[in-house]
Amino acid sequence: MIIVLKPGTSDRDIEQLVKRIKKYGLQPYVSRGKERTVIPVIGDERVLENVPLTSLPYVEKVMAVLAPFKLVSREAHPKNTIVKAGRLEVGGKKIALIAGPCSVENREMIISIARQVKKAGATAIRGGAFKPRTSPYAFQGLGEEGLKYLAEARKETGLAVITEVIDTRDVELVCRYADVLQVGARNMQNFELLKEVGSSGHPVLFKRGQSATLKEYLQAAEYIVSRGNDQVMLCERGIRAGVEDYTRNTFDVVSIPVLKELTHLPVLADPSHATGKWQLIEPASLAAIAAGADGILIEVHPRPVEALSDGEQSILPNKYAAMVKKFRKVARAVGRTI
Ligand code: PEP
Ligand code: MN
């Protein structure tokens, strides 16, 4: 960290500040210039995270050098983390395909979609049994019944099961049925839920919040990893960028290489929620693969017009299979496989 002092700061104030910093086990180096005095501080500055140095009247600004997240940072852990859950493996050379309906609607549909996406190359089936809906009148999911159907789909196909958990009280229940717990965008900063899924030790698909900066996102991921669970996949699913409302969200495709640089955790893309339009899923997916995504999550439904949630962004199973063929070409071009 570098502390910049206001002009005319007295020697006494500098001395007191140096003492204060040393108390935290850090080493300050006072550098007196003609105009300003600056104090580079060596050591893990994060011990000062909750010390508001700018509240001292003579401190002009404090510039952080280290990222405010530690366990998830690439600095701390240069090698990619591989997340494994049954057949699903994310973070290596192979790009993982995760597909399935937005919501589990009934037994037949989830088993039939699982079979079809598996044939196309997917290694995990997704589907919500607990749905975080914007409207309280919209379909809220089948609950435990939906989890049972997902487990049956796994039994039939061998695919890993990914499903969302929205309540700390359900973490244990969802762990009993699912291979991966999804924490959705709306719960990115539900810190109690993050602690609970972290403690569960279960692999987590952790989506970026709609209005979260990447720094906030990684600080939130730190909550899960700091509970001893490094089996966390990140997922760019579009953000509220402010001006554009043609698409449901704005797909922040460059967040993928940025996250890959900042963290060792695998990074997925979810073009379904990022765009909200089935026509845009293919180009957004191809862009994500080119940008370095470790996996692609897509909503697939046999009859999108009848879907109980997110029908407008759902892809037909045969269209999905055709898209995957194109995914393979772009993957090959960037040195990956599918
Ligand atoms: C979902 O995956 O169906 C979902 C609700 O996603 P998000 O949290 O990204 O909106
Ligand atoms: Mn959805």
Atom of ligand 1 nearest to the CA of 207: 9
Q: Tens of pLDDT along 162-184?
A: 999 999 999 999 999 999 999 99
Q: Tens of pLDDT along 288-304?
A: 999 999 999 999 999 99
Residue 66's pLDDT is 85
- 102 pLDDT tier (thresholds 50, 70, 90): very high
Same domain for 118 and 57: no
Q: Average pLDDT, stretch 306-324? A: 98
Q: Average pLDDT, stretch 30-46? A: 92
Ligand nearest to the CA of 163: 1
Q: Average pLDDT, stretch 274-293? A: 98
Name the residue of 273, 275, 314 whose CB sits within 8 Å of the most ligand 1 atoms, as the mutation to test its pocket.
273
The last residue of a domain, from among 10, 29, 63: 63
- 73 pLDDT tier (thresholds 50, 70, 90): very high
Ligand nearest to the CA of 134: 1
Token pair listed for 178: 């699912």
Residue 242's pLDDT is 75
Same domain for 55 and 89: no
In a domain, 133, yes or no: yes
Atom of ligand 1 nearest to the CA of 184: 8
Same domain for 20 and 151: no
Q: State what percent of residues in the chain have pLDDT above 70.
A: 100
Atom of ligand 1 nearest to the CA of 273: 9
Residue 234's pLDDT is 98
Same domain for 300 and 229: yes
> What residues contact residue 37 under an 8 Å CB cut-off, 6+ apart?
5, 9, 14, 30, 31
User: Which residue segment(s) compose the domain that 7 sits in?
Assistant: 2-63
Q: Which residue has the higher pLDDT, 94 or 65?
A: 94
- Based on the number of CB atoms within 10 Å of its own CB, is 12 exposed (0-12), middle (13-18) or buried (19 or more)? exposed
Same domain for 100 and 12: no
Residue nearest to atom 1 of ligand 1 (CA): 102
Does 315 have pLDDT greater than 90? yes
Q: Tens of pLDDT along 223-258?
A: 999 999 999 999 999 999 878 899 999 999 999 999
Residue 295's pLDDT is 98
Q: Average pLDDT, stretch 253-265? A: 98
In a domain, 312, yes or no: yes
Residue 40's pLDDT is 93
Q: Average pLDDT, stretch 259-283? A: 98
Atom of ligand 1 nearest to the CA of 208: 9
The whole-chain average pLDDT of the chain stands at 96
Expressed in angstroms and rounded, the spacing between residue 61 Cα and the centre of ligand 1 is 39
In a domain, 110, yes or no: yes
Expressed in angstroms and rounded, the spacing between residue 184 Cα and the centre of ligand 1 is 5
CATH of the domain at 266: 3.20.20.70
Ligand nearest to the CA of 190: 1
Residue 46's pLDDT is 86
Q: Tens of pLDDT along 202-229?
A: 999 999 999 999 999 999 999 999 999 9
- 59 pLDDT tier (thresholds 50, 70, 90): very high
Token pair listed for 254: 């460059």
324/335 Cα distance (integer angstroms): 16
Same domain for 157 and 39: no
- Give the CA radius of gyration of the chain: 23
Which contacts of 303-311 are long-range, i.e. CB under 8 A and separated by 24 or more positions? 304/278, 307/101, 307/102, 307/103, 307/105, 308/102, 308/103, 308/105, 308/139, 309/102, 309/103, 309/128, 309/131, 309/133, 309/138, 309/139, 310/102, 310/103, 310/272, 310/273
In a domain, 188, yes or no: yes
Question: pTM, whole model, 2 decimals?
Answer: 0.92
Same domain for 315 and 195: yes
- 67 pLDDT tier (thresholds 50, 70, 90): confident
Same domain for 218 and 105: yes
Residue 296's pLDDT is 98
Residue 163's pLDDT is 98
Residue 241's pLDDT is 87
Q: Average pLDDT, stretch 188-199? A: 98
- 68 pLDDT tier (thresholds 50, 70, 90): confident
Residue 76's pLDDT is 86
- 137 pLDDT tier (thresholds 50, 70, 90): very high
Same domain for 34 and 95: no
Q: State what percent of residues in the chain have pLDDT above 90.
A: 94
In a domain, 209, yes or no: yes
In a domain, 14, yes or no: yes
In a domain, 136, yes or no: yes
9/70 Cα distance (integer angstroms): 33
Looking at residue 41, its amino acid is V
Same domain for 122 and 49: no
Expressed in angstroms and rounded, the spacing between residue 274 Cα and the centre of ligand 1 is 10
In a domain, 76, yes or no: no
Same domain for 120 and 227: yes
Total tally of structural domains belonging to the chain: 2
Same domain for 237 and 92: yes
Q: Average pLDDT, stretch 142-154? A: 98
Does 65 have pLDDT greater than 90? no
